Amino acid sequence: MPTNPWKIQKGYNDKPPMEHIIGYHVTTPRKSARYQATGCILAPVRFWRFLNSAIAYAHKTGQEVILEIKVESAFPLPDHKPRGHAWWSPWNIQKWRPADVESPREQPS
């Protein structure tokens, strides 16, 4: 397994990574098309553990595509403490599907 490149302080992320979890990767339509063309989301893959966090991030950044991914192993992003909803994986992702959520533009205001 790759080592943790975001290990920024002693004791942080020294625990074993979480394994086999479902997460939500927020991206743009252009990058989503690139993932389809190449068949892969290249590591490090950043994702949100909870769909509501991914939706909030998508609204905040204007990114329109939320993909549901299955991750073999993952670490929390160090700058997202203490809530820890944002994670990253050192592995390429080769299987994903659109998250089961309405597009932000389709939601009633």
pLDDT digits (tens, 9 = 90+) for 3-59: 555 554 444 455 567 788 999 999 999 999 999 999 999 999 999 999 999 999 999
Position 77 confidence tier, pLDDT thresholds 50, 70, 90: confident
- The model's pTM: 0.77
pLDDT of 79 reads: 76
- 3-state per-residue secondary structure call for the chain: CCCCCCCCCCCCCCCCCEEEEEEEEEECHHHHHHHHHHCCECCCEEEECCHHHHHHHHHHHCCCEEEEEEEEEEEECHHHCCCCCEEEECCCECCEEECCCCCCCCCCC
Q: Can you say how many angstroms the Cα of residue 74 is from the centroid of all Cα atoms in its chain?
A: 10
